[in-house]
């Protein structure tokens, strides 16, 4: 879910406890829409992450944020450093329960005079922004996203312009104004599903909180407000009031809802969530920690997706073109089957040349190629303008032409299939990447293989430190290694494994190289099956069942000279069939 007003209220309570009075020691901007403040307070340094990401805007104290800063400081960062570096945090507040956080900071100007500035953080989806405002003049000093009048005629956000609050939704603030009579009146104003009526009427309430209120009241969340009774409304109000009173008293229960079958975060909240009775609940000491845990993987995956978009688009285009080309080649290969018929006709005409005369348009002769019927005959079309010998030579010529073409096509189809397998493997590697470094490994590989072109200003591809393969532990406590991209696959198969280790790969399907750090004579069927399931899961057949996986001793795997990264040949293999299972994969991860 997105950060709602109540969750932001809880985060601000935590921030005031830890950051108020603190000094801003360092400011960085690792992403174009993200700022990190290092704040020293009472002998401890805290890191405050502020993100205006369109998809994952957020603010919280972070303990594990690790991103590299750009080599050149962005303009907004230089402005922040100029006006806020060394400043002290005076207050952290919220506009009602709107998703707007104001951090007032006092810092010295060039004349060493204390000046008050406000860092206004607006958590508003794609309209999210971080705006630095001079408190005295209420003028904008700068913003992480500049909004000219051509983009928004309602609210211009540019340096020098007056700062205006984002348009209010004119909802009721439940922390300051919550009464049963007004609650009944607001919810029955318009006919709508119950939970929607709650979050559309009250500020700071997300659909998640509204559904939880309905669940605690044992009332159908989709019940029409026109059909709800006064008694039911009172039950809903009581549940709502209990939640609001807890938040007023800063009694928070930060938690994340997890679907352990999929190892996936479903939701998070600053209150106990009782409606997810069939899922797991993970509790946290602080709202910031719960928020960071929930968003970190989500944000990483989305940013990886954004940064890999150009590669995925290029590969998809290449794959589609190659598939079309391969389809035409296979059709042409089918057409070469006619060559044997041409040779047969030429042979039969040669055997019966004494019966041929120029000007004949066809001839019927005995078909001695027919083993089933000795009396079978065949009619062969002739060119009336050609001599018997010329007709025969014409058929042999067609035969030889198709024979040559078949040989060429065989080589071309083999190359196309190999390249298609390679490109599909690269696409799979991109989808499996868990870090920017892994994406850069793939980008470097595509440069080396000629699929990406270096910019004219670039002299060479920057060397990328090799990332490590994924590590899993089988039920028998045996290490299983899985490559995530072609570079890792090559390293794993040629350098990180021993000749007698067990090598696995999906049969004729793009996928990762898998190594069991054990020999065939001691490995158990359980470990073999688990490794095969990993090979199937980290392949293009992830969503399939009964996936064929080959395994053999690593010494039986060879990399042909000139082969593309990750491409190998192998023999002496055994094939097993397994069903990929995400839950098992999660359990085996070391």
Burial 320-338 (b: 16+ CB within 10 A, else e): eebeeebeebeebbeebee
The alpha carbon of 540 is separated from its chain's Cα centroid by a whole number of angstroms, namely: 15
Degrees (nearest 5) of the Cα angle 368, 374, 376?
75
Q: In which residue ranges of the chain is pLDDT below 50? A: 457-459
- The CATH fold assigned to 180-295 is Helicase, Ruva Protein; domain 3 (1.10.8)
Question: H helices of 382-499, where?
Answer: 388-432, 436-448, 486-494
> Using an 8 Å Cβ cutoff, are 58 and 128 in contact?
no
CATH class of 5-143: mainly beta
Quickly list H helices, 449-518: 486-494
- Position 370 scores a pLDDT of 87
Q: Compute CA distances 526 → 11, 472, 474, whole Å.
A: 47, 14, 8
Q: Tell me if the pTM is above 0.75.
A: no
Number of H helices, E strands in the chain: 14, 22
Helix boundaries (H) for 433-504: 436-448, 486-494
Q: Where are the domains of the chain?
A: 5-143, 180-295, 317-427, 470-588
Q: What is the phi/psi pair of residue 404, to 5°?
A: -65, -45
The arrangement of strands across the sheet holding 264-269 comes to: 264-269, 255-259, 280-283
- The count of residues in the chain is 590
Which of the 8 DSSP states describes residue 168? P
Closest C-alpha to 518, from 504, 507, 536: 504
What confidence tens digit (pLDDT) does each residue in 37-56 have? 999 999 999 999 999 998 88
So what's the pLDDT on residue 457? 47
Q: How far apart are CA 76 and CA 88, in angstroms?
A: 19
Contacts of 410 (CB under 8 A, 6+ apart): 333
User: What is residue 271's predicted lDDT score, i.e. its pLDDT?
Assistant: 94
Pick from 220, 203, 338: nearest CA to 275: 220
């Amino acid at each position: 879910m997105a950060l709602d007003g109540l969750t932001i209220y809880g985060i601000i309570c935590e921030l005031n406890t830890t950051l108020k009075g603190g000094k801003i020691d360092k400011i960085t901007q690792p992403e174009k829409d993200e700022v990190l403040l290092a704040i020293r307070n009472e002998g401890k340094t805290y890191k405050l992450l502020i993100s205006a990401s369109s998809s994952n805007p957020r603010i919280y104290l972070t303990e594990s944020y690790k991103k590299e800063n750009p080599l050149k400081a962005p303009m907004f960062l230089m402005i922040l450093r100029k006006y806020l570096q060394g400043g002290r945090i005076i207050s952290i507040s919220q506009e009602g329960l709107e998703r707007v956080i104001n951090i007032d900071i006092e810092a010295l100007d060039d004349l060493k005079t204390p000046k008050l500035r406000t860092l206004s953080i607006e958590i508003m989806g794609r309209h999210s922004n971080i705006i630095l405002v001079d408190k005295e003049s209420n003028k904008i000093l700068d913003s992480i996203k500049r909004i000219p009048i051509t983009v928004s005629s309602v609210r211009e956000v540019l340096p020098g312009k007056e700062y205006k609050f984002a348009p209010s939704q004119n909802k009721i603030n439940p922390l300051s104004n919550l009464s049963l009579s007004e609650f009944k009146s607001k919810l029955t104003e318009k006919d709508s599903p119950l939970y929607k009526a709650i979050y559309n009427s009250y500020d700071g309430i997300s659909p998640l909180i509204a559904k939880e209120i309905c669940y605690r009241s044992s009332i159908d969340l989709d019940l029409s407000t026109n059909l709800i009774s006064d008694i039911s409304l009172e039950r809903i109000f009581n549940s709502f009031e209990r939640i609001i009173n807890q938040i007023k008293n800063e009694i928070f229960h930060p938690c994340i809802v997890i679907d352990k079958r999929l190892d996936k975060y479903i939701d998070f909240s600053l209150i106990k969530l009782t409606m997810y009775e069939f899922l797991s609940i993970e509790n946290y000491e602080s709202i910031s920690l719960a928020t960071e845990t929930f968003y970190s993987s989500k944000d990483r995956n989305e940013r990886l997706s954004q940064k890999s978009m150009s590669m995925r688009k290029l590969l998809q285009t290449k794959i589609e073109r190659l598939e079309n080309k391969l389809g035409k080649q296979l059709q042409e290969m089918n057409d070469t089957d006619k060559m044997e018929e041409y040779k047969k006709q030429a042979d039969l005409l040669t055997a019966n040349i004494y019966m041929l005369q120029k000007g004949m348009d066809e001839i019927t002769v005995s078909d001695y190629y027919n083993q089933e019927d000795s009396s079978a005959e065949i009619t062969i079309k002739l060119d009336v303008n050609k001599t018997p010998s010329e007709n025969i030579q014409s058929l042999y010529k067609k035969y030889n032409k198709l024979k040559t073409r078949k040989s060429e096509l065989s080589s071309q189809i083999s190359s196309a299939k190999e390249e298609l397998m390679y490109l599909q493997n690269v696409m799979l590697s991109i989808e499996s990447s868990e870090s920017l470094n892994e994406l850069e490994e793939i980008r470097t590989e595509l440069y080396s293989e000629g699929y990406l072109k270096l910019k004219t200003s670039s002299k060479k591809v920057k060397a990328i430190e090799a990332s490590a393969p994924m590590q899993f532990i089988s039920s028998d406590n045996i290490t299983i290694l899985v490559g995530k991209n072609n570079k890792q696959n090559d390293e794993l198969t040629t350098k990180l494994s021993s000749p007698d280790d067990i090598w696995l790969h999906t049969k004729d399907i793009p996928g990762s190289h898998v190594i069991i750090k054990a020999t065939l004579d001691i490995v158990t069927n359980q470990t073999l099956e688990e490794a095969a399931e990993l090979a199937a899961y980290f392949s293009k057949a992830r969503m399939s069942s009964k996936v064929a996986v080959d395994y053999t001793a690593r010494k039986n795997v060879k990399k042909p000279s000139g082969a593309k990264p990750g491409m190998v040949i192998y023999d002496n293999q055994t094939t097993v069939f397994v069903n990929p299972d995400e839950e098992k994969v999660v359990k085996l991860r070391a």
